[in-house]
Amino acid sequence: MRRSEINAILRDADAFIRSFGFVLPAFAQWEPARFASERERVAGILEAGLGWDVTDYGQGRFDAVGLVLFTLRNGRAADLARGRGMLYAEKLMIVGRDRLGPMHRHVVKAEDIIVRGARDGARLALRLHAPAEDGSIDRRAPVRVPCDGIVREVEAGGVIDLGPGESITLEPGVWHAFWGEGGDVLVGEVSTVNDDATDNVFEPPLPRFPTIEEDEEPFRLIVGDYARLRSLP
């Protein structure tokens, strides 16, 4: 992705989120220079991977395949392993109209996906598959998932759509892809500790983070920029 494209996406994303009355943490508006000058103070943000995230999954077609996220809070994998501490994470996502979040599953993370708001009567659509014994996609078995505590069943590859206020719980291993049906959708995610570097398995295999062409200065940092920031002297 070009940095100029990411900058434009983030400007639109901030306005979209605000239109639903959702207020992000103050650091969502920080310029890159502030992160660089206050690296010690923001070490917890950098370590937890909090903040803006934009990806086209390496496809170069963000309008068709892509996602905008903001990680609000995130615990540590070490705490999750010992079963004590901050064992949860929370994200906000913008799922665009007909913009695919590709088929994937999580190894560790369980998540609630919650529709927080939608434009023009839009709904969040999710295509689901159960995992086979080896973790691959089972293209025959039906899928049973709780939606607001009520179990729903769909055939393999079936679609569940959700409107504002509705949610779905996805256990580790459940394959899912999603998109906005009829418009853009504001989506919340509440989950166990999130590790986007290792916990996403895509089918077919895809990179989780984009390759960025630096054609202009960043408007805001995204989480993929943090490694470079931490390496500065």
Per-residue pLDDT, 229: 81
From the candidate CATH numbers 3.40.50.40, 2.60.120.10, 3.30.1300.10, 3.30.430.20, the one assigned to the domain spanning 3-230: 2.60.120.10
pLDDT at 142: 98
Ranges of H-type helices in the chain: 3-18, 32-37, 43-48, 77-82, 226-230
Does the predicted model carry a pTM greater than 0.85?
yes
Q: What is the pLDDT along the chain (233 residues), one digit of tens a residue?
A: 999 999 999 999 999 999 999 999 999 999 999 998 998 899 999 999 999 999 999 999 999 999 999 999 999 999 998 999 999 999 999 999 999 999 999 999 999 999 999 998 999 999 999 999 999 999 999 999 999 999 999 999 999 999 999 999 999 999 999 999 999 999 999 999 999 999 999 999 999 999 999 999 999 999 999 988 866 55
Q: Which pLDDT score is estimated for 71?
A: 98
- Which tokens go with 78? 């070490």
3-class DSSP string for 57-117: CCCCCCCCECEEEEEEEECCHHHHHHCCCCCEEEEEEEECECCEEEEEEECCCCEEEEEEE
Q: How far is CA 61 from CA 2, 36, 55, 153, in A?
A: 11, 30, 10, 32
For residue 228, the model assigns a pLDDT of: 83
Contact between residue 20 and residue 70 where contact means Cβ atoms under 8 Å apart: no
